[in-house]
């Protein structure tokens, strides 16, 4: 038989006391804790950031709230990415955040930062097209942005041809040359990370640089989606068999330098000389075909030393998914249709029939 506890030796809670403790606990959990959390939350979202200087933050189109929060935290514009997510989600503000490049003043609090990125900027929406060369990127930027110098941008971009991703960008009018260039390259890396993988490169037996060189030619040569993988297969096959590529776009690339600077090598003319200049001459002369340049595949074996344009995803994917075929030649007629041939005689016949 279990003896009852002696209340003189032990503190025994009466039912009424137990009830009071439970009620006190519930009051603390349901009333006090939420009150303290709300108080902390109100203080936290109004607390100035720890950054002692103005920071520039770029928000890309389609970027998720969590990615925006991490970016803002990394730049020092906010103190907590968790609180940013809570504030945006509870306020249903995610679809109100606009793409753009923002200047966040030093000491801004979280509420102020969210307010800033909801109302857009004075950014311009500029579209840089697939197949443009660096000089064309520079021309559009120089014509529209206050602090871009054509020659400075081209000099910075000369070793990054092919990696300036063509897209529509929200660009601050005060952006500098290097910042703009970094924007293009960052977008390239982001947009191609799922396709320019080691697995895909090993599968096709090409380096990333070779893929982009081939893609830069495909971008200029072929505009129909269904023909791009076929032509990519032809050009890659000719390259592997040590046959001249005979890609007119490569000759156009150096012919432009010859026309504007008097020599078939990279040059940076003054901006006033190129405002209406055609960087892709449609008619190539015999002199053009004989231009002494490693880029000129009508004269030399092998690949150009670097890309000749900045390709989009379609051209890059065409190279990674190049189709085998019996063809060694192709041409585009005046209507944009592609005509293939397996022999030079067939190709010459197509040329006579569709071009001349």
Q: What percent of the chain has pLDDT over 90?
A: 58
Residues 210 and 161 in one domain: no
- Give CA–CA dist 138/142, Å, rounded: 6
8 A C-beta contact, residue 100 and residue 63 = no
Q: pLDDT tens-digit profile of 32-61?
A: 556 656 766 777 788 887 777 888 888 887
Other CB atoms within 10 A of residue 326 CB: 9
Residues 218 and 336 in one domain: yes
Query: Residue 317: inside a domain, yes or no?
Result: yes
Number of domains in the chain: 3
> Three-state SS for 64?
coil
User: Last residue of a domain, which of 150, 168, 191?
Assistant: 191
Structure tokens at 342: 């397996």
Residues 203 and 343 in one domain: yes
Buried b (16+ CB within 10 A) or exposed e, 41-69: eeebbebebebeeebebbbbeeeebeebb
> Three-state SS for 171?
strand
Domain holding 69: CATH number? 3.30.1490.480
Query: Residue 5: inside a domain, yes or no?
Result: no
8 A C-beta contact, residue 98 and residue 119 = yes
- The alpha helices in 129-247, defined as continuous H runs, are 134-144, 150-157, 177-192, 198-204, 208-221, 228-240
Q: Which parts of the chain have pLDDT scores under 50?
A: none
Residues 222 and 294 in one domain: yes
Q: pLDDT tens-digit profile of 97-123?
A: 888 778 888 888 888 888 888 876 667
- Give CA–CA dist 266/135, Å, rounded: 11
**What's residue 103's pLDDT?**
81
Query: Residue 292: inside a domain, yes or no?
Result: yes
- Give CA–CA dist 295/292, Å, rounded: 9
User: Last residue of a domain, which of 100, 118, 136?
Assistant: 118
Query: Residue 36: inside a domain, yes or no?
Result: no
Residues 185 and 100 in one domain: no
Residues 265 and 332 in one domain: yes
Residues 65 and 172 in one domain: no
Residues 202 and 332 in one domain: yes
Query: Residue 185: inside a domain, yes or no?
Result: yes
Query: Residue 37: inside a domain, yes or no?
Result: no
Q: pLDDT tens-digit profile of 121-150?
A: 667 889 999 999 999 999 999 999 999 999
**What's residue 328's pLDDT?**
96
Residues 63 and 101 in one domain: yes
**What's residue 249's pLDDT?**
96
8 A C-beta contact, residue 235 and residue 223 = no
- Give CA–CA dist 75/177, Å, rounded: 20
**What's residue 126's pLDDT?**
92
DSSP state of 227: T
Residues 341 and 247 in one domain: yes
**What's residue 309's pLDDT?**
97
User: Last residue of a domain, which of 98, 118, 138?
Assistant: 118
Residues 169 and 266 in one domain: no
8 A C-beta contact, residue 266 and residue 242 = no
Residues 201 and 292 in one domain: yes
Query: Structural domain of residue 151, as residue ranges?
Result: 124-191
Of 201, 197, 198, 206, the residue nearest 240 (C-alpha): 206
- Give CA–CA dist 136/184, Å, rounded: 14
**What's residue 336's pLDDT?**
85
- Give CA–CA dist 86/91, Å, rounded: 8
Query: Residue 240: inside a domain, yes or no?
Result: yes
Read off the pTM.
Answer: 0.70
């Amino acid at each position: 038989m279990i003896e009852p506890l002696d209340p003189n030796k032990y503190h025994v809670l009466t039912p009424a006391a137990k009830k009071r403790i439970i009620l006190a606990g519930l009051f603390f959990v349901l009333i006090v804790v939420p009150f303290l959390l709300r108080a902390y939350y109100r203080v936290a979202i109004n607390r100035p950031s720890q950054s002692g200087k103005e920071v520039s933050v770029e928000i890309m189109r389609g970027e998720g709230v969590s990615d925006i929060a991490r970016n803002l935290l990394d730049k020092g514009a906010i103190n907590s990415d968790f609180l940013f997510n809570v504030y945006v989600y509870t306020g249903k503000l995610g679809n109100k955040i606009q793409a753009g490049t923002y200047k966040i003043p030093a000491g801004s609090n979280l509420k102020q930062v969210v307010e800033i990125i909801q109302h857009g900027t004075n950014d311009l929406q500029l579209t840089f097209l697939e197949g443009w060369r660096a000089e064309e990127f520079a021309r559009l930027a120089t014509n529209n942005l206050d602090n871009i110098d054509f020659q400075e941008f081209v000099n910075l971009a000369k070793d990054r041809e092919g990696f300036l991703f063509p897209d529509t960008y929200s660009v601050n009018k005060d952006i500098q040359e290097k910042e703009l260039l970094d924007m293009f390259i960052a977008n390239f890396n982001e947009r191609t990370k799922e396709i320019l993988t080691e697995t895909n490169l090993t599968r096709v037996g090409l380096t990333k640089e070779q893929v982009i060189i081939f893609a830069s030619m495909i971008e200029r040569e072929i505009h129909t989606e269904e023909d791009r993988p076929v032509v990519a297969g032809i050009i890659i096959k000719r390259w592997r068999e040590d046959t001249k590529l005979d890609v007119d776009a490569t000759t156009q690339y150096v012919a432009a330098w010859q026309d504007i600077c008097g020599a078939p090598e990279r040059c940076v003319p003054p901006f006033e000389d190129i405002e209406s200049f055609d960087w892709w001459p449609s008619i190539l002369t015999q002199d053009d075909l004989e231009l002494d340049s490693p880029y000129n595949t009508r004269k030399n074996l092998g690949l150009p030393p670097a890309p000749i344009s900045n390709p989009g995803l379609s051209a890059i994917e065409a190279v990674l998914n190049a189709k085998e075929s019996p063809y060694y030649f192709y041409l585009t007629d005046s209507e944009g249709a592609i005509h293939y041939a397996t022999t030079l005689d067939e190709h010459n016949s197509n040329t006579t029939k569709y071009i001349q």
